[in-house]
């Protein structure tokens, strides 16, 4: 039987193994002011290009799960196309509802493609 210390170490190791990079799109397809999304295991993730800097974010609006990649993007703020909830693309902060923070995710460009690093349970 595992003690509490052993259980903690086991969970930590599994969590770190769950981080993976996923290809989103060719980097040429993500111009400044645009966004792209991917769906993995029932969740959507989005990458936004703000003046040449890429930002990874949860891709579903916290209100009713509309795709934020299809929203209006202006001055680092994305506005959901369904009912207008607004989010800071850099921080994930929801400017409409204090309890609706989105998670941010690392992104990179490699081999002319955009990748997002996400952590999902059950990917070990």
Question: Quick one: which of 45, 85, 87, 115 contacts ligand FES (CB under 6 A)?
Answer: 85
Q: Does 113 bind ligand FES (CB under 6 A)?
A: no
Residue 66 to residue 71: CA distance in whole angstroms:
9
Q: Is 87 in the site for ligand FES (CB under 6 A)?
A: no
What are the residues facing 40 on neighbouring strands? Answer: 43
d(CA 25, CA 75): 23
Q: Where does this chain touch ligand FES (CB under 6 A) — which range of 9-17, 21-29, 47-55, 80-88?
A: 80-88
The residues, any chain, with a CB within 8 Å of residue 116's CB and separated by 6 or more, are 21, 22, 24, 38, 45, 47, 56, 105, 106, 107
Binder of ligand FES out of 64, 95, 123, 124 (CB under 6 A): 64
Establish if 82 lies at the interface with ligand FES (CB under 6 A).
yes
Question: Which parts of this chain interact with ligand FES (CB under 6 A)?
Answer: 61, 63-64, 66, 80, 82-85
């Amino acid at each position: 039987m595992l003690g509490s210390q052993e259980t903690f170490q086991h969970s930590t190791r599994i969590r770190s193994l769950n981080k993976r990079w996923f290809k989103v799109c060719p980097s040429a397809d993500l111009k400044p002011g645009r966004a792209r999304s991917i769906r993995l295991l029932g969740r959507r993730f989005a990458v936004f290009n703000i003046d040449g800097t890429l930002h990874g974010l949860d891709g579903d609006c916290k209100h009713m799960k509309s795709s934020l990649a299809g929203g209006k993007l202006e001055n680092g703020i994305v506005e959901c196309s369904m009912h207008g909830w607004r989010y800071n693309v850099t921080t994930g902060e929801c400017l409409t509802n204090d309890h609706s923070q989105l998670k941010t995710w690392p992104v990179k460009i490699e081999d002319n493609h955009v990748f997002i690093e996400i952590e999902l349970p059950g990917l070990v």
